[in-house]
Chains A and B, each alone.
Chain A
Amino acid sequence: MKRLMLVPALVLCLCMSAFAAPVEIELVQYKQEALRTFDALAKKFNETHKNIHLTISSPNEPMTILKTRFIRENYPDIIGIGGDMDYSNFQDAELLADLTGYKGLEKIKKAYIDIIDGLKFVPRPGVFGVPYMANAAGVLYNKDIFDAHGWKIPESWPEFMKLCDDIQAAGIRPMFFGFKDTWTTLAPWNALAVDIAPADVCQNVNLGKTTFTKEYHEVAEKIYAMLKYAEEGPFAYGYNDACTAFARGESAMFVIGNYAIPQILSVNPKLNIDSFVMPGRNDSNHTLNSGVDIMFCVMDSCPHKEAAYEVLDFLLEPENIQAYVDEQNSVPCQTGEFRLTPMLNGMKKYIDAGRMSDYHDHHYPSEMAVDAQIQTYLIHGDINAFLARFDKDWIRYNRDIISKLKNYMAAH
């Protein structure tokens, strides 16, 4: 059936090419779970734009595919990737085009432009991506359990600890961690770190202005303090166990991001979830842990930059953003009024006010395995050894970046 449909389409294409061949734009995006949303967007684009033909692919193992394509020098035109270390590396490898002057950037919230700017190894001028959607992390909680006991959202760290005590006293497990999968340790770590430590801590360490021993001490203490409210032996259970446990009401809270919601709902679609910002500080002046979930970068090698911008314009149209937000429960990076999922109600005022800061681990080199180091610390409990190793390893794993940064700073 599909083949038969293709024939007239092909004929149509051939006829049109007699006038002007449409420019081919290929977009590869890394959120495989958003495949259907992107397919729909591509279809809509191609129906409304006759001069450009857009192909969006959402492959499995997207980052491996992108990297191997880069090795082959078989570049797509636009890539949709997360605002993390991969972006930093691609930018540093000079694969991405500078989008300064592209009008769509004006509509993006400044907080997110700053976030991706902070990801650059070296503060070279230029904007190399258009932040599209953000995610937000903090504490997800079971609204039904909270309502039944009349518990309130904590405003500060002491209140949070008090709440945990209350929940435990009521015979309910406050949190489920699932620390067997090392990466899950980063969820509470990041949520605490953005609230307690300065956002540019990594860059300042690189410049030799401070140390992690100094900046992360409180973070490390507090994440350790949370352990006693979790399941027994959290290192035996994985992320999947934690999602299932929270979905089945076996814990009142789950310190994780909105990205876990689909997995939780797949186990229990009726679960009444809401969220709040992790109150890491002792006062009530908090910062939301939010990062760029997907951003679009135009490849430097793309021969049709104008056409690529037209694709970006289309993706940034408010109705298309809203469609994406509705389907993926995401947080848009663009200014303007959008309907968000009610599961993020507790975070909305931070999002609207732009009071957010990026995941610290987006600045950690993955080969340093900070997640495994945190897991090790939580098992041993030796805070000094942990922080000392953090500082020592940091210097080693980042020395190329540090020397690059120092050279750049000396030259500018």
Chain B
Amino acid sequence: MTPARRATIEFLLDNLVWLMLIVVLIVFSLTVPRFFQFGIFANIIEQSTFVGVMAIGLAIVIISGNLDLSVESTAALAAMVTGLLFATQGIGLGIALEPAWLILPVSLAIAMLVGAAVGMANGFFVVRLGMSAFIVTLASFIWVRGLVVAISGGRSAQSLPAAIRVVGTADILGLPLLAWISVGCFVLFSFIMAKTPFGRYVTLVGGNLEATYRAGINSNRILFVSFVLAGLLAGVAGWLLAIRTSGATANLGVGMLFNAFAAVVIGGVSLKGGIGKLPGVYAGVLLLYSIHTAINLMGLPAHYTQMILGALVLAAVLLDTLKLRLREKLL
């Protein structure tokens, strides 16, 4: 095989998920009535924001060789705290700040702190005490959702002030601001993962913990920070979710963990750690939400929606597996 041919095949395989996304978008555009319009594509990017931001943190933890099942509940907690403090209806305390725009950085900082605190707790138990990440974060998934129910009493907080709602309603160049935020998060963290020592260490630690330890890399610190980052990003996702729905309910975000995991896997991140790139994860998120949107537009009978979604996710993962085999065979 010539080097040029090899490079082409490698490029195609590395970006297979993007090709899949393009193919899916073309198929939906041709077959689903009223799918092919700018607004629908903008909706797909906007709706993928919450799972997308959540999936960045999840992917970082998985690439580092661990697992975080708590991101969905952490996002829900951050959303509920945002709603509880700043919403004006329901159980919202309606805290107002002067000047009004201060609510944006203050609420974001609080949501990030909430998320980071859960991430630190996870990191402490997994890294410092050596407990299984699966068990620790499963426990967090449960207790954090329980905390959401406890602090809300099962009630909802609604109607966030206009100063914060602007994030959910404004658009720039026709694209919702929420969409720009998710794109921005992916660009930023893709850069961090690809171009900074931290990003490279995360991949190295996930690939071979022993070797990085021997190379003098503080692997425990890298693992701990990856959990904190996952929590922090889940907090941001929850903050965005609260803004999008103008408040929070006790079941907000339920089911998003499945979507985040599916996106990460479809995006080419190995559950064994050490392999994966964030642009692929973003393509995975967009692919999932293209499917969601197509199902919404097709008006399929309610009972079949989950079946179709599951089958399409399976098909996407199957293609990814075929890609790995093809790579082994050809390269």
Question: Real complex partners, A and B?
Answer: no
B residues contacting A by CB (< 8 A) are none
A residues contacting B by CB (< 8 A) are none
